């Protein structure tokens, strides 16, 4: 008697693996060159077999010089044919949610459905003053903005605003999404995790915490989702990692220690809306922390680290920050080595190794 064949599962056996591009400014490159390099990295990622690229958005600081993740996403969708392009994340309190929904629907339509929209609460920065949205949009108004964005992307023909912040008559959604468009939510605090879970939105998990902290976050997510009648088992959470390949751990760490502290120091350019100074972390200690928890080293070390994340957290999608070596040639070499020496050896736990699944 022959055994029954194993069940067919539509999921790829390899997790989706994307780049995470912050478009950070390093010595020797001005803003235009930095953005040009980011485009090069995305094109190289498609050639190297990555599934997608996520784009960070920052305002008024050189830690990341892309102020509109949706605009750069549109350009990259036009420059690529297979790659998914996501925003990680568009800062929702700086924008009118319906305007952002219109842009997302447009990009989804012209790209054949290759846009992944991620949004974030952001911080209490001067952005809120410059764009005229105010601190309330960051604090009490964020859930209302998120719900209005989701309504506008639901596929319904019209949208209206009835909340205290957004109040307007019913208008047509043009272009109207052909289907409800998925939205990811960047979450670094329990309230935002609960907000996402209650709405069934997958999370963008940042680089600043280790696998245990990410697993605890997803445990909170599951508890809240279950309490709200949501099935959390299929949520496609994305875990962000610093990734750098070299022949040895020592070589990889040295390359990043030469550049990473100066890049991270640029986060001190943030200006709080209330004028108070932002907290300044110990950069050397933070670099030590990042190097200890992320895939930095030879290919087999990177595979082990990322496989451990998949097993510990249950995340099924990874995004790898690759720019930290600070030079275009080193970054392009890093992308190529990740594509050939790391990606083919990653597998969703329980499903065995397998090839990349495009798109």
CATH number of residue 247's parent domain: 3.20.20.30
What's the predicted TM-score (pTM) here? 0.93
- Asked if the structure places residue 189 within a domain, the reply is yes
- Asked if the structure places residue 10 within a domain, the reply is no
- Asked if the structure places residue 4 within a domain, the reply is no
Distance CA 16, CA 53 (A): 11
Distance CA 119, CA 195 (A): 13
Cα 2 to chain centroid distance, Å, stands at: 46
Is residue 157 classed exposed, middle or buried when 0-12, 13-18 and 19+ CB atoms within 10 A define those classes?
A: exposed
Closest CA relative to residue 203, chosen from 232, 227, 170, 226? 232
- Asked if the structure places residue 2 within a domain, the reply is no
- Asked if the structure places residue 181 within a domain, the reply is yes
Q: Are 104 and 95 in contact (CB under 8 A)?
A: no
> What string of pLDDT tens digits covers the 359 residues of the chain?
333 433 444 444 889 999 999 999 999 999 999 999 999 999 999 999 999 999 999 999 999 999 999 999 999 999 999 999 999 999 999 999 999 999 999 999 999 999 999 999 999 999 999 999 999 999 999 999 999 999 999 999 999 999 999 999 999 999 999 999 999 999 999 999 999 999 999 999 999 999 999 999 999 999 999 999 999 988 999 999 999 999 999 999 999 999 999 999 999 999 999 999 878 889 999 999 999 999 999 999 999 999 999 999 999 899 999 999 999 999 999 999 999 999 999 998 765 444 333 33
Q: Residue 207 sits in which domain range?
A: 16-345
- Asked if the structure places residue 28 within a domain, the reply is yes
Q: What is the number of domains present in the chain? A: 1
CA distances from 9 to 13, 170, 267, 311, 356 (A): 9, 42, 43, 18, 15
∠ CA 57-60-62 to the nearest 5 degrees?
75
- Asked if the structure places residue 350 within a domain, the reply is no
């Amino acid at each position: 008697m022959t055994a029954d064949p194993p069940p067919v599962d539509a999921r790829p056996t390899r997790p989706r693996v994307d780049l995470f591009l912050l478009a950070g400014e390093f010595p020797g490159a001005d803003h235009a060159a930095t953005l040009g390099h980011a485009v090069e990295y995305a094109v190289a990622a498609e050639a190297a077999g990555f599934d997608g690229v996520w784009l960070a958005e920052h305002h008024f600081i050189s830690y990341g010089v892309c102020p509109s993740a949706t605009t750069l996403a549109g350009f990259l969708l036009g420059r690529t044919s297979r790659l998914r392009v996501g925003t990680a994340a568009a800062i929702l309190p700086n924008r009118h949610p319906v305007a952002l929904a219109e842009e997302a629907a447009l990009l989804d339509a012209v790209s054949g459905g290759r846009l992944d929209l991620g949004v974030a609460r952001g911080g209490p920065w001067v952005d809120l003053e410059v764009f005229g949205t105010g601190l309330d949009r960051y604090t009490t108004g964020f859930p209302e903005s998120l719900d209005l964005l989701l309504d506008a992307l639901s596929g319904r023909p019209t949208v209206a605003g009835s909340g205290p912040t957004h109040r307007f008559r019913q208008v047509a959604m043009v272009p109207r999404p052909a289907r409800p468009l998925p939205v990811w939510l960047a979450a670094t605090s329990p309230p935002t995790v609960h907000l996402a879970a209650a709405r069934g939105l997958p999370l963008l998990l940042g680089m600043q915490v280790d696998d245990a902290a990410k697993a605890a976050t997803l445990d909170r997510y599951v508890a809240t989702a279950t309490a709200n009648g949501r099935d959390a088992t299929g949520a496609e959470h994305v875990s962000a990692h610093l990734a750098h390949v070299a022949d040895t751990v020592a070589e990889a760490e040295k390359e990043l220690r030469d550049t990473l502290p100066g890049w991270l120091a640029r986060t001190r350019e943030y200006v709080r809306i209330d004028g108070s100074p932002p907290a300044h972390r110990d950069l050397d200690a933070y670099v030590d922390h990042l190097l200890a928890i992320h895939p930095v080293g030879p290919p087999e070390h990177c595979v082990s680290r990322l496989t451990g994340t998949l097993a510990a957290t249950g995340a099924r999608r990874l995004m790898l920050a690759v720019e930290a070596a600070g030079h275009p040639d080193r970054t392009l070499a890093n992308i190529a080595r990740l594509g050939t020496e790391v990606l083919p050896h990653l597998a969703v736990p329980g499903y065995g190794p397998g090839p990349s699944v495009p798109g």
